[in-house]
Homo-oligomer: A and B are copies of this chain.
Amino acid sequence: MKIAVLPGDGIGPEIVAQAVKVLHALNLDLTLEEAPIGGAGYEAAGDPLPEATLQLAKEADAVLLGAVGDWKYDSLPRDKRPERGLLRIRKELNLFANLRPALLYPELAAASTLKPEVVSGLDIMIVRELTGDIYFGQPRGISTLENGEREGINTMRYSESEIRRIGRVAFDIAMKRNKKVCSVDKANVLETTELWRQVMIELAKDYPEVELSHMYVDNAAMQLIRAPKQFDVMVTGNIFGDILSDEASMLTGSIGMLPSASLDANNKGMYEPSHGSAPDIAGKNIANPLATILSVAMMLRYTFNDEVSAVRVENAVKKALAQGYRTADIYTEGSQKVSCSDMGDAVVAAL
């Protein structure tokens, strides 16, 4: 089995190095091959997704990504910017299912800005559609109207089959969890999401054990703050999922802990931390590598179907936390502040 390793920008290389260390320590039969993406891709080949990187990612069984983006690329033309590399690889590999868990580690409960009783035990799985919606819909662009002023347009667009395949992912995951799916839309205003709701209702018939509910996106943004533990699996489109998954991850107060998976129809996947490239702390060996290490656990679970190794990695992370090791972002008095590479070592030791 082959893993494409794409460290990317900012803290990407240092956190990916720790995840690679963990992969090696597992002693599985895996080949790793590295390639540049994002700003690093632009530096190396003038393209945020160099052709060779895309080829490698296509051939590989799974992709491990660090993060992309750095302010220094802000003035590049749109299609050279790091984010473009990310959007293109998602689309090229057909990674339509983005799984973003929002999980609160008991040891880190104090890091949340919410009251402990509101978030303790929080465990939500957000299933976000990742290759459709207003992110990719045509027509799009900025043009000049007859009266001389500019106008911007983008198109939200979903077909039934796109909705059904992401719905299935959500229902399947719910079957392995608490059997509750909350589908988030804006069906009272947007026809696209009216169709979304209809398809979810149809699909629910195949999953009689799962309780399906619907929520408007504005209400979902409120309910995540009011009573987040009401949610088990939340499924929604690309743009609403972008917003709500970030909101949900911040409920935990420790976004440095949250992994993500982006899967195609055959469980090939790209795995990356939910957080960004944090260029301000890059190269200082102080970033938190745990989200990336936990992304490896998701890779083992979803792509390699190796639940045993996945749980081994997750338990090793829990053990490192229980031993009191903390990177700066999750440090609290009484615990032991460690560097990015120290944390990687602690997880390896705990394996």
Quick check: is A149 within 8 A (CB to CB) of the other chain? yes
What are the interface flags for A99-128 relative to B under an 8 Å C-beta threshold, 1 for contact and 0 otherwise?
000000000000001110010000000000
Spot the interface stretch: A19-27, A175-183, A191-199.
A191-199
A/B interface sample: 26 pairs, CB < 8 A: A83-B188, A83-B189, A113-B118, A114-B225, A134-B190, A135-B189, A137-B153, A145-B159, A150-B159, A150-B160, A152-B158, A152-B159, A152-B194, A153-B191, A154-B191, A156-B156, A186-B242, A217-B243, A218-B243, A222-B247, A222-B249, A222-B250, A222-B255, A224-B247, A240-B243, A243-B243
Which residues of B have CB within 8 Å of A245? 218
Which residues of B have CB within 8 Å of A114? 113-115, 225
Q: Which of B118, B151, B195, B251 is within 8 Å of A152, CB to CB?
A: B195
Contact A195 B225 (CB under 8 A): no
The interface size of chain A toward B, counting residues with CB under 8 Å, comes to 59
- A150 CB → nearest B CB, Å: 5
Which residues of B have CB within 8 Å of A155? 153-156
Contact A140 B243 (CB under 8 A): no
Contact B161 A157 (CB under 8 A): no
What is the CA–CA distance of A312 and B87 in the complex, to the nearest angstrom? 53
Contact B156 A153 (CB under 8 A): yes
State the oligomeric state as a number of copies.
Answer: 2
Quick check: is A246 within 8 A (CB to CB) of the other chain? yes
What is the CA–CA distance of A258 and B47 in the complex, to the nearest angstrom? 48
Which residues of B have CB within 8 Å of A137? 153
Quick check: is A334 within 8 A (CB to CB) of the other chain? no
Quick check: is A244 within 8 A (CB to CB) of the other chain? yes
What is the CA–CA distance of A210 and B176 in the complex, to the nearest angstrom? 52
Contact A149 B160 (CB under 8 A): yes
What are the interface flags for A212-254 relative to B under an 8 Å C-beta threshold, 1 for contact and 0 otherwise?
0000011101101111000000000001101111110111000
